[in-house]
Chain A
């Protein structure tokens, strides 16, 4: 009788140790799930970097449009001139790709307006609407993609 009680007590004590180990593994599970959640939070910073590049591109387009020269390049279909002027207007190290659409969203530029180097996955996008200053009113939608040149 005494032997049975002693064995039962011993078994309980052994189980307590096992439960502690299970607790430890539960703690591991909780901690690593917190790692997973916190790792996802860093995405916010990438959005901010995208915003900075997009603002730079937008400011360049606004400046070129302020005297009507942006729409003049499109009216004249001077895609080389537009590419050259964007090369000058944008800071070094930024690759761009520009597409011009009419108001029906049909692509106007048949030539590529780009300085190449688009291998990065972090691409900023700017949509800009400009109007022709010609006597015939025309409206253009400009899509400018920007990335860090590689």
Chain B
């Protein structure tokens, strides 16, 4: 074979090899950047959508309070608010599936009119309360219960001021204490002639900011069997400062109902009572705190307590991205929002179809 042929073959082979490897390397190097550029545009669009949901009041603007109107455009801001990221208490409550008048995800999805974007909304207190039952001491006339209360954010202790209510049949007592290092022990004493099960309601207010507040309720047996799960006897739906208590069983008799916040407590006034439901007026308590509503009653000879909050949080509504395999590009945006003067954490997940 002539030398020139060897040289040409070697040069051509080298060029082909280099061109192929360069093509492969260039595409490998540029593809992430190209997809990232797409992600940047998508992220900006999703961020704008998430802000739109929290900064506009929707159409009609009173769609939260007025269940007769048809929701045309979905958004959550309070109408006429001068504060950014202030949400309407009723619009938020209607996102909770437990509410009788909740709006479904398909309804929201349709009214949002963005067919290529799925979303999920979560609203919850800024930090969590964990209530652990530790011991019981039975006396002749009364029984004492000991609890450990932890206030924390993702496991990090949050110094708080605590307000605790114990609710049982014709019984309401309260106590106030501090969890200065995010942990405290407390004792509740209930007379033995009071019927249970009892409900321990805990409010925790951040020492650094009185608008950052969390709550929890813990049901426990007292002169009774173990308590049933929530919603066994009543479906509670707060809306427009009215509480609708829908009876699960027709033989249920309702007794006292209470509205509790950090600083105030009140007995609810019943305005309508029929065989299927009762309606109570929820008082407008002045402190920046969610109102925790407790309704007590009897099912035959069994006493029960049911509770909900107004605004009806924590809530999660929308698409479930955790099990989705057809969606990628899921972006989450977390905001600090105000509902009825108290601060909550709102996370919005937005996702589109795979590119």
Cβ contacts A81-120/B at 8 Å (1 or 0 each): 1101101110110000000000000000000000000000
B336 interface residue per 8 A CB criterion: yes
* Chain B residues within 8 Å of A42, by CB: 32-33, 36
Knowing A88-B127, A88-B209, A92-B153 are in contact, say whether A31-B15 is a contact too (CB < 8 A).
no
* Chain B residues within 8 Å of A20, by CB: 7-8, 11-12, 15
What's the Cα separation between A87 and B19 when bound, in Å? 53
The size bracket of the interface on B is 35 or more
B176 interface residue per 8 A CB criterion: no
B300 interface residue per 8 A CB criterion: no
How many Å from the CB of B27 to the closest CB on chain A? 10
Judge whether A13 and B18 touch: CB under 8 Å: no
Which stretch from B97-105, B154-162, B252-260 is at the chain A interface?
A: B154-162
How many Å from the CB of B12 to the closest CB on chain A? 7
Knowing A81-B208, A84-B207 are in contact, say whether A63-B338 is a contact too (CB < 8 A).
yes
What's the Cα separation between A60 and B212 when bound, in Å? 13
* Chain B residues within 8 Å of A18, by CB: 7
Judge whether A67 and B26 touch: CB under 8 Å: no
| Interface of chain A, main secondary structure | helix
* Chain B residues within 8 Å of A31, by CB: 18-19, 22, 26
Judge whether B26 and A34 touch: CB under 8 Å: yes
Q: Which of B20-74 contact A (CB under 8 A)?
A: 22, 25-26, 29-30, 32-33, 36-37, 39-40, 43, 47
The size bracket of the interface on A is 35 or more
A3 interface residue per 8 A CB criterion: no
Knowing A31-B22, A52-B43 are in contact, say whether A88-B206 is a contact too (CB < 8 A).
yes
Which stretch from A22-30, A124-132, A136-144 is at the chain B interface?
A: A22-30
What's the Cα separation between A56 and B22 when bound, in Å? 41
A5 interface residue per 8 A CB criterion: no
A4 interface residue per 8 A CB criterion: no
What's the Cα separation between A10 and B191 when bound, in Å? 116
B108 interface residue per 8 A CB criterion: no
B1 interface residue per 8 A CB criterion: no
* Chain A residues within 8 Å of B186, by CB: none
Judge whether A21 and B206 touch: CB under 8 Å: no
How many Å from the CB of A17 to the closest CB on chain B? 2
* Chain B residues within 8 Å of A81, by CB: 207-209
* Chain A residues within 8 Å of B40, by CB: 44-45, 48
What's the Cα separation between A136 and B14 when bound, in Å? 78
B343 interface residue per 8 A CB criterion: yes
Cβ contacts B130-166/A at 8 Å (1 or 0 each): 0000000000000000000000011010110000000
Q: Which of A1-43 contact B (CB under 8 A)?
A: 13-14, 16-18, 20-21, 23-24, 27-28, 31, 34-35, 38-39, 41-42
9 smallest beta-carbon distances between A and B, as pairs: A17-B7, A20-B11, A84-B208, A13-B4, A31-B22, A81-B208, A63-B336, A85-B208, A92-B154
Provide 17 A-B residue pairs closer than 8 Å at the C-beta atoms, listed in order of the A residue: A13-B3, A14-B3, A14-B7, A20-B15, A21-B7, A21-B14, A24-B18, A28-B18, A34-B22, A35-B25, A44-B36, A45-B36, A56-B334, A59-B85, A60-B336, A87-B153, A88-B206
Add 10 more A-B contacts to A44-B33, A44-B36 (CB < 8 A): A16-B8, A17-B8, A20-B7, A20-B8, A42-B36, A67-B211, A84-B159, A88-B158, A88-B208, A88-B209
